[in-house]
Structures are given as C-alpha cells and as structure tokens.
Structure 1
Amino acid sequence: MRGISFWFFMTAVIYVTLGMIWGIVMAATGDHRLAAAHAHLNLVGWVTLALFGIYYHLVPRAGEHLLAKLHFAVATVGVVLLVPGIAMAVSGAGELLAKVGSVLTLASMLLFAVVVFRSRKAVEVPERAMVRQGLEQSA
C-alpha cells in the first residue's frame, strides 16, 4: 500500500488506536458521558477512512489526482474537529466545532463521491479483463 491509500489507512489506524484507548479509559472510570464522541472517532475516523484507503488501493488511478489529496485533507480535518466538537457539545461547551466538523465530514464524503464517479472507468472487473485478454489473444 502506497500513496494516498497508505495515508488514509495509517490515519485510520491512529484514530482506532486512540478510540480503543479512550474506550478502555471510559470502561475503567465508568464515565461514559462522551460515548458519542468515542463512537464517531471509531466510525468516522477508523471505518470511513479505512474504507477510503481500501478504495484508493484498489483503484490506484483515483489516488493520482489532486482531488484525492484534497479529499484526505478535508476528511482528516473533519475528524479532528468533529470528535472534540461532539465532546464539547455533550459537555455543554458549545456546538460550533461539532457543526464545522460535521460539514467537513459531509464535504469529504461528497468529494469521495466525485472521486468514485470520475474513476469509474479505471475500475477493471477481473472477469471482464480475463475475457477481454482471452479475446485479444485469440484474434
């Protein structure tokens, strides 16, 4: 795994590690007030970013464009703002950070939709490739 796929996956691993540590701390202290922020760290930070990384690994051409780098930046900043923003909102310290993080996270998904749409022709179905290769060799 290289390039943008590596960075998405490595960032996701960092987020899930922090999420696991946070979960252990919540369990040890019995204080689960910030469970919503913890859940978003794991779901958005780990699952979503890891899936982005897997996609970019499977479709390397999609990661070669500037849009993929912009996608990584927006997705990462989204998580970095969303998770503490949710913690602040739950704690009564205001919702602005959670709102900004939410909008950035949505923007990240919309950017990903554009990446997927633009790279649709770069996705090669293995069975079709094998059939096409067989046809070319027999011609």
Structure 2
Amino acid sequence: MGKQFLKIAAVYFALGALLNVIIGVSGDYSLSNVQSHIHLLGWTTLGIIGLIYVAFPALSVTILARIHFWMHNIGLPVLVLAIIGKNYEVAEAGVWVVTGWVLLAAGIMLFMVNMWDRLR
C-alpha cells in the first residue's frame, strides 16, 4: 500500500500546485483554504503515510491500511468540494463538510490503530 499512498500523494501535490497557479493568475484568493487542505491532507499527510508503509511493510498489508486508503481518498475530495460549496454559499455544503471530516478522521484512526497494533 505504500506505493499507492505515494502515488496518490503525488496526484494531490499536482492538483494543489495547479490550483495554486489558478489562484495566483486570477488574483482570487477565496479558494486558498481549499489549496491548503489539498496540500496538507493530500500531499503531505499521504506522502508521509506512504513513506511509513514503505519503511514498515508489515503495516501496509493489513485490511486497515486498505480501508484507510479509501476512507481518506473519498473523504478528502468530499471535504474539498464541500469547502468550495461553502465558499459559494451552497446550503447543503455544511453536511458534506462534516461527512468529509468524519471519513478523514475515521481513516486516520484506522492508521493509528494499525500502527499501534503492528509496530511492537
């Protein structure tokens, strides 16, 4: 799973960088918080987790690692789109922000449990 985490981290890095260019060229900084979330929760977090899984392969072969991968990579796009919705005052966006955060937090808890269980 380590390689999958690193590959998807690179995708988030590219998306964040592209959004950064769009923000800079347009001069509209209303989506800066979206760009920050993509970089921190996508590129940085998933990159570090990928490196941990590469360094400790026993962590990456568990069902917890797979579930975490999918929860994180469903939760983050939901969160990012919901934040955009909040910026444009979409009424239902608040529910989706909570949904994205719950998925992200649950996935991160699975990562923590996996670490505590497998690293002895």
Q: TM-score, normalised by structure 1?
A: 0.82
Asked if 1:32 is matched to 2:29, the reply is: yes
1:1-139 equivalence runs, <5 A: 4-93=1-90, 94-121=93-120
Runs (4+) of structure 1 moved beyond 4 Å? none
The Cα of 1:27 is off from its aligned counterpart by 0.4
CA–CA distance in structure 2, aligned partners of residues 34 and 97 of structure 1: 17
> Quick check: which has more Rg, 1 or 2?
1
The amino acid of 1:23's aligned partner reads N
Root mean square deviation, CA, Å: 0.9
Q: CA deviation at 1:87?
A: 1.1
Which has the bigger relative contact order, CA under 8 A and spacing at least 6? 2
TM-score by length of 2: 0.94
Unmatched 5+ residue regions in structure 1? 122-139
Q: Distance in 2 between matches of 1:46 and 1:22?
A: 13
- Could you tell me how far apart the structure 2 residues matched to 1:66 and 1:22 are? 33
Partner residue in 2 for 1:135: none
